[in-house]
Structure 1
Amino acid sequence: MNKAVTSVLIAGLVAAGLQLSTVQAEGEGATPTPAAAHDIIVVKSQSSGGVVVLGGYVMPEKIVNLSAQMPGDVEFVGGSEGDEFKKGDRLVALDTTALQAKRVQAVSQLASADAGYRNSLVQYNREVFTPNSQSNSMLGGMPGMFSMFSDPMRSVMGQGSPGYERHSNLYGQGVQIETARNAVEQARAGLRELDDSLENAVSYAPFDGVILKKMVEQGDIVQPGMPLVTFADITKLQVRVEVPTGVLNTVKSGGAFQAKLDDDTAPVAVEVDRVFPMADPGGHTTTVKFNLPAGTMAHSGQYAEVLIPDSSKEASAYPSIPQSAILWRGSLPAVFLVDDAGELKLRLIRIGETSASGIVSVISGIKVGDKILANPSAGTRSGS
C-alpha cells in the first residue's frame, strides 16, 4: 500500500516538472531581443570631404574698450559683468571736485577779461571823440587852447607832428582792445578745456549692451589710458576666423557656410560679414568675420569651427548616420551598435562634418553596413 502511494506521488512530481519545463521553454522563446524594442537603421555611405575645418571664436559685432581719459579717483561704477545698460547710461565716473573748483575760477577769469575788453572799447571811443580829454579838463581847457597855436608852429619848425601823435594815441587804444579781446578768448578756451575734462571724467554707454569685463572698482586711482570696462552688444554675435590664403577665393561677402559651436553637434548657418583687406604676412591667413543667426546661444570668446569647401582636397566616402543616433558620453560621441545576436554595444566614434539635413559623417568607430539604434534613450544600456 505504501509503495503504491509513493509511486503515484513520484509520477505526479515528474509530470509537473515536465509541464514547468515546457512553459519555461515557451517563455524563453517568446521573450523579444533587447534591440527589438528600438528602431534599428543600417549605416550608409555618403561622400564627404573637400572641406577645411577652421577654428575661431565667437565675438560681439560691437565691442569697445573704455579707458580713462584723465587721472583721478573712481567715484562711481555702474555695475558688474553681465549687467545691461542703455545707450547714454553712466558706466564709470571719476571724482571731479578739483575740476569743479577750477571751473569756478575759470568763469571768474572770463568775467574779468570780458570787463577789461569792454573798458578798452570805451577808452578807444573816448580818444576818438574827445582827444586829450584828461589834459583839457585842467585849468578850464587852457592846455588845449595853447596847443591850438603852438602845434602848428612846432610842426613848421620840425619839432613835432600833431597828426602822428594823434595816430599814436588811437593806435595805443586799439592795441589795448586787441589785448583785452585775446584775454577773453584765452579765458573761454580754458573754460572749454575744463568742460571737456569734466565730460571725459564720465564714461557713457555708446550703445545698448552689457559689461563683459570690469577692470576697476570704486576708490581705485586711474591714469590716462588705463582700461575701465569692456562693453559690447551681445545681441549680434560673429565668429572670427583666420582663413588660409589657399581657400580664401571661396569666401565672399554674403556667402553662406556651416559652423559648429564647441561640442554642439548641430550645425549653425553663418554668413560672411567682412573679409579683411590685408593678409597676415607671417601666418598667410586673412581675418574673416561670419554673422551668427539671431538668437544663437553662444558666448563671447566661445570656441567655434567654420566649414569651408576646399576644391584642392579630394572627396572621400564615410559612413553617415542621423544626429539622433548619437549620444554623448562626456565630450565623446557614441552610438549603440546592434550585433548579430541582437545585443547592444556602446561604440565610441569620431564624427566629421554635419550636413544641413542633420546627417553626420563618421570618421571612425563604425563602418558601412553596421546596424545601430536610430533613437537611443538616456536609459539605454549596453548589453541590456
Structure 2
Amino acid sequence: MRVRPLEQIEQLSGARYSGTVEPGTRVDVAFKVGGYVRELAQTKSVTGPRKIQEGDVVAKDDMLAVLRETDYQQKKLAAQASLAEAEAAQKQAQLDFDRTQKLTATGAIAKVELDAQSARLTTSRARVEGARAQVREAEISLADCTLKSPIDGVVLKRAVEVGTLVSPGTVAFTIADTKSVKVVFGAPDVLIDKLQTGGKLPVSFDAVPGQFFGTITRIAPSADPKSRVFDVEATIPNHDDRLKVGMIAKLVVPEGVLPPAALALPLTAVVRSPHDPRGYSAFVVEQVNGKDVAHLKDVKLGDVVGNAVLVTDGLREGERVVTMGATLLNDGEHVRVVPE
C-alpha cells in the first residue's frame, strides 16, 4: 500500500480540471408541419451522391429535407378557390351597393335598404381578407415542407429517413457551428471568485498536439445541486476544425485561494462508507505494537480540487492516508507500506 501524510493546501495554483468540448452554437432543426419525408439532401462522396449524414458540412439556407407536399398543395388550391369565390361575392356586393346608392339618391327606395347593402359590402370585404389570409397560410405551410439549415455548420445528428412520418416540432437534424468551440468544466465555489468573464485559461488535448488558450465566456450563476460545482465555459477559436465536439480537454487554473486550514485528500483515497451508503471514508495507517494497521474513518468531503477533494471533517493534518490500494483493504488489517 502507498500512503501520504494529509496536508493543508493554501493555493489552487496549477490545479488541473477536465472539460468537454461543445460547439459554439448548436441548433435543433425541426419541422413546422407534419407529413412523410419525401427527400433528403444529397452530397457528393468518393462513391457518388449519397444522403446527407453526420459530419457533413452545410451552409445557411441549404435544403436538408422535404416533406410530401401533395396535401399542402391541395390546401393551397382550396384556399385560392375560396378567395376567388369571396372576390366574386365582393364584386357583386359592390354593384348592388352602387345601384342602391343611386336609387336612394332619387328617393326610389328607403335609406334602410342602402344601409343593408353597405353591411353586405363590408361583410364581403372581410371575407376576402380572410380568404387571402388562408391563402398566405397555405403558402407558408407549403414552403415549410422544405427544411433548411438556419446556420453555416456541420451536421451532428440526423434523426429522419425517407418515408419517416413526422409531426410538427419533430427534430430532424442537429446543426452545430464549430468555428469556435466551448470547453465546459466544473469549478468549486472557492474558485469562482477568482474566475472572471474574459479571463484566459490554458487548455490542452490528448488528441490534438499543442496548447490552446480559452477565453472564459460564461460562469454559471448557481451550482449543480448534485456535484456542487459551477459550470464554466471557455471559448476557443476553431477555424481549422481541429477540435471536435465531445473531445476531452485538460485545463490548468492559474490561481485561486482556498479557505484557511483546508485539507486535501487524493481522490484515490476515497472509498464508500460501510455505515452510510451515501457517505465516504478513508483508510488511515497507524502504528500498533510496531506494525502498520489500516483503520477506516468516516469523512465529510467538500469541493473537488483537481485530483483531490477537500476534507471538512473526520481527518487531521499529518495523518497517513492510503492513496493506492484502499479498495482492497478491510478495517483493522495489517498493511505493508510501499515507499513512493
Q: Which has the larger radius of gyration?
A: 1
TM-score when scaled to structure 2? 0.64
- The residue type paired with residue 258 of structure 1 is P
Does the CA-based 8 Å contact 1:50-1:312 persist in structure 2?
Answer: no
The answer on 1:175 being equivalent to 2:119 is: yes
**2:216 paired with 1:216:** no
1:101-123 deviation line (CA, Å, top 9, x unaligned): 21112112111111211221221
Q: Does 1:69 align with 2:37?
A: no
Q: What is the aligned partner in structure 2 of residue 52 from structure 1? A: 15
CA–CA separation in structure 2 for the residues paired with 1:301 and 1:55? 12
Matched, 1:307 2:307: no
Alignment match, 1:109: 82
SS at structure 2 position matched to 1:312: coil
Residue segments in structure 1 that go unaligned for 5+ positions in a row? 1-47, 137-143, 145-164, 317-351, 354-363, 365-384
**Alpha-carbon offset, residue 305 of structure 1:** 2.8
* Structure 2 portions without partners, runs of 5+: 1-10, 42-51, 265-305, 308-322, 324-340
Shift of 1:49: 5.3
> Where does residue 148 of structure 2 map in the other structure?
204
CA distance in 2, matches of 1:242, 1:197: 44
The Cα offsets for residues 106-158 of structure 1, whole Å up to 9 and x where unpaired, read as: 1121111112112212211111112499xx9xxxxxxx6xxxxxxxxxxxxxx
CA distance in 1, matches of 2:138, 2:222: 41
Alignment of 1:1-384 (within 5 A): 50-78=13-41, 79-131=52-104, 166-262=110-206, 266-294=210-238, 295=240, 297-308=242-253, 309-312=255-258
**Is the 2:14–2:252 Cα contact (8 Å) retained in structure 1?**
yes
Matched letter for residue 191 of structure 1: V
Instruction: Give the C-alpha shift of residue 56 in structure 1.
Output: 2.2
Counterpart residue number, 1:158? none
Contact 1:258 1:269 in 2 (8 A): yes
Task: Name the counterpart of 1:29.
Answer: none
CA distance in 2, matches of 1:103, 1:256: 56
Residue 241 of structure 1: how far off its partner (Å): 2.1
Following TM superposition, by how much is the alpha carbon of 1:229 offset from its aligned partner in structure 2, in angstroms?
A: 0.8
Q: Tell me how far 1:216 sits from its aligned partner.
A: 0.8
Contact preservation (8 Å) 2:104, 2:114? no
Distance 1:263 1:232, change over 3 A: closer
SS of equivalent residue, structure 2 residue 219: strand
Q: AA paired with 2:95? A: V
- Please report how far the alpha carbon of residue 286 of structure 1 lies from its aligned counterpart in structure 2 after TM superposition: 2.9
CA distance in 1, matches of 2:25, 2:144: 21
Does the 8 A contact of 1:51 with 1:310 survive in 2?
A: no
Work out the CA distance in 2 between the residues paired with 1:195 and 1:114: 19
Q: Is the 8 A contact 1:72 1:223 kept in 2?
A: yes
Give the SS at the match of 2:237. coil
More strand, by proportion? 2
Q: Is the 8 A contact 1:52 1:310 kept in 2?
A: no
Q: Is the 8 A contact 1:53 1:306 kept in 2?
A: yes
For 2:173 and 2:207, how far apart are their aligned partners in 1? 30
Deviations 1:297-324 (A, max 9, x none): 221111223222322188x9xxxxxxxx
1:108/1:231 CA distance change after superposition, 3 Å: same
Please say if residues 58 and 153 of structure 2, whose CA atoms lie closer than 8 Å, have aligned partners that are also in contact: yes
**Structure 1 residue 230, shift from structure 2 partner:** 0.8
Residues 31-69 of structure 1 deviation map (CA, whole Å, 9 limit, x = unaligned): xxxxxxxxxxxxxxxxx9534333221111111111222
Q: Please, what TM-score do these two structures have when normalized by structure 1?
A: 0.57
Alpha-carbon RMSD: 3.0
Q: Structure 1, residues 262-302: CA drift from partner, whole Å, max 9, x if none?
A: 46674321111223444444543333221113336221111
**Residues 1:49 and 1:172: Cα distance change in structure 2 (over 3 Å):** closer
Which structure carries more helix by proportion?
1
Q: What CA distance in whole angstroms lies between the structure 1 residues aligned with 2:111 and 2:186?
A: 76
In the aligned structure 2, how far is the partner of 1:168 from the partner of 1:291?
Answer: 74
**Percent identity for Structure 1 against Structure 2:** 27
Question: For 1:80 and 1:186, how far apart are their aligned partners in 2?
Answer: 42
Q: Alpha-carbon deviation of 1:176? A: 0.5
